[in-house]
Amino acid sequence: MTRLQLIEQIRKKKSYLCVGLDTDITKIPRHLSTDPDPVFAFNKAIIDATKDLCVSYKINTAFYEALGVKGWEAMEKTVRYIGDEHFKIADAKRGDIGNTSDQYAKAFFETLPFDAITVAPYMGEDSVKPFLQHKGKWAIVLGLTSNKGANDFELLHTGGEFFYEKVLETVSAWGTEDNLMFVIGATREGELSNVRKLTPHHFYLVPGVGAQGGSLKDVSEEAMIKDCGILVNISRAILYASAGQDFAEKAREVAKEYQEEMSGYLK
């Protein structure tokens, strides 16, 4: 999916909601346990209930890889079921030497029909570039994250600036606004204005709203640009809105609340 296509979907749906399909098999409703593929059955119901309210789905691959072959099959069925009208993100946080990253890129962009993959930039340019060489595909590079461990490296002062600032400035030159995004945590609202100054036109994938305490209002006011420029990921609040047979209906209600709030912030 191109940047223009993504922006078109945002305008059409008046939404920049990304639904996180971080499906934990231990948390899905019990009545699905007898299904031959309970994870896919759960995901399918969530997708059907929310597809008109969101522009993106993010699949955290760890929840699927932990289940072995069956989990991988459920992930593949899920990403194919989503289709082409939504921006499909593999939250895999890959990043290795060039020839290895090249194989990761082929796995998620050719074998699987993802539009984007999250990437760790620690190993440098040659570990990120392979993900930027596929037309219509995106690398979403870790920039400033919400977790406590961000203090260990990202928020260290190095040469008069935060380490995350160096990352944003350096990585921005490796790609373009059409194939490169950044992960920016919603709980870093005090830094959002600075992040936007450093990367004025890039899209951000923003986790941390909802269960982690981030504010949709703050994120929207500090990071939104004329092309929107943000995808706000909501996972647990939508996925596990109910543990009963009405889980999909309740998921839709929560997604609708976020979509309606987002429509008021869009410029």
- Non-local (6+) Cβ contacts of 134 within 8 A are 105, 109, 110
DSSP label at residue 183: E
- Non-local (6+) Cβ contacts of 190 within 8 A are none
93 catalytically annotated: yes
Tell me how far apart the alpha carbons of residues 107 and 114 are, in angstroms, rounded to a whole number: 9
| Residue 196 in tokens | 């936007």
Pair 76, 112: CB distance under 8 Å:
yes
Amino acid at 19: V
Percentage above 70 pLDDT, the chain: 99
Phi-psi region of 14 (alpha: psi -120 to 50; beta: other; left: phi over 0): left
Catalytic, out of 70, 77, 93, 166: 93
Which residue pairs, CB below 8 angstroms and at least 24 apart, start in 27-33? 27/239, 27/240, 27/243, 28/247, 29/242, 29/243, 29/244, 29/245, 29/247, 30/243, 31/245
Domain 3-265, architecture per CATH: Alpha-Beta Barrel (3.20)
Q: H/E element holding 186? A: none
Q: Could you read off the pLDDT tens digit of each residue along the chain, which spans 267 residues?
A: 999 999 999 999 999 999 999 999 999 999 999 999 999 999 999 999 999 999 999 999 999 999 999 999 999 999 999 999 999 999 999 999 989 999 999 999 999 999 999 999 999 999 999 999 999 999 999 999 988 888 888 888 888 888 999 999 999 999 999 999 999 998 877 788 899 999 999 999 999 887 677 889 999 999 999 999 999 999 999 999 999 999 999 999 999 999 999 999 997
Residues constituting the chain: 267
17-20/230-234 β-pairing: parallel
Q: Report the chain's terminal Cα–Cα distance, integer Å.
A: 22
Q: H/E element holding 73? A: helix 69-82
| Residue 68 in tokens | 């072995």
